Amino acid sequence: MSVVTPYYICGPTASGKSSLALELAKKLDGEIVNADAFQLYQGLEIVSAAPSVEEREQVPHHLYGVLPPTESADAQRYVTLAKPIITDIIARGKTPIITGGSGLYLKFLTHGAAPLPTADAGLRAEMDTRPLDELVAQLQLLDPLEASRTALQNRRFVSRALEICLLSGQLASDLRDRWETKTTEISSQLQGLVIQRSRPDLHARIAMRTRQMLDDGALEEVAALTAISRNCEKAIGFREIRDLIIGEIDRATCEELINAATRQYAKRQETWFRREKWLIPHLPT
RNA sequence: GGCCCGAUAGCUCAGUCGGUAGAGCAGUGGAUUGAAAAUUCACGUGUCGGCGGUUCAAAUCCGUCUCGGGCCA
pLDDT of the residue at A229: 72
* Helix (H) and strand (E) counts in chain A: 14, 6
Q: Is the CB of A48 under 7 A from strand B?
A: yes
**Residue A12: pLDDT band by 50, 70, 90 thresholds?**
very high
ipTM of the complex: 0.93
Query: Degrees (nearest 5) of the Cα angle A263, A266, A268?
Result: 115
pLDDT of the residue at A27: 95
Q: Let me know: does A149 contact A171? Beta carbons within 8 Å.
A: no
Q: Is the CB of A269 under 7 A from strand B?
A: yes
Nearest nucleotide to A273 (CA to C1') is B32
For β-strands A30-34 and A280-282, DSSP reports them as unpaired
Percent of chain A with pLDDT over 90: 88
| Separation CA A182–CA A112 (nearest Å) | 10
Name the residue among A115, A105, A104, A112 with its Cα closest to residue A177: A115
Q: Is the CB of A183 under 7 A from strand B?
A: yes
* pLDDT at residue A3 is higher than 80: no
Residue A131 CA to B43 C1' — how many Å? 28
| Long-range contacts formed by A267-270: CB under 8 A, 24+ apart | A267/A12, A269/A11, A269/A12, A269/A13, A269/A101, A269/A103, A270/A12, A270/A196
pLDDT of the residue at A1: 45
For β-strands A61-62 and A192-195, DSSP reports them as unpaired
**Residue A182: pLDDT band by 50, 70, 90 thresholds?**
low
Nearest nucleotide to A125 (CA to C1') is B35
Bases in strand B with any atom closer than 7 Å to a protein CB: 25-41
Query: Which of the 76-95 residues on chain A come under 7 Å of nucleic strand B at their beta carbon?
Result: 76-77
pLDDT of the residue at A2: 54
Computed over every residue of chain A, the mean pLDDT equals 94
Q: Is the CB of A265 under 7 A from strand B?
A: yes
**pLDDT higher at A226 or A2:** A226
Residues A56-67 have a mean pLDDT of 97
**Residue A72: pLDDT band by 50, 70, 90 thresholds?**
confident
pLDDT digits (tens, 9 = 90+) for A86-125: 999 999 999 999 999 999 999 999 999 999 999 999 999 9
* pLDDT at residue A272 is higher than 50: yes
| Separation CA A183–CA A190 (nearest Å) | 11
| DSSP code at position A275 | T
**Residue A188: pLDDT band by 50, 70, 90 thresholds?**
confident
Cβ contacts of residue A98 below 8 Å, gap of 6+? A6, A7, A8, A9, A32, A33, A35, A82, A86, A106, A109, A192
pTM for this entry: 0.93
Name the residue among A103, A44, A39 with its Cα closest to residue A229: A44
**Residue A30: pLDDT band by 50, 70, 90 thresholds?**
very high
Query: Which of the 51-80 residues on chain A come under 7 Å of nucleic strand B at their beta carbon?
Result: 72-77
Residues A130-143 have a mean pLDDT of 97
Q: Let me know: does A135 contact A154? Beta carbons within 8 Å.
A: no
Nearest nucleotide to A259 (CA to C1') is B26
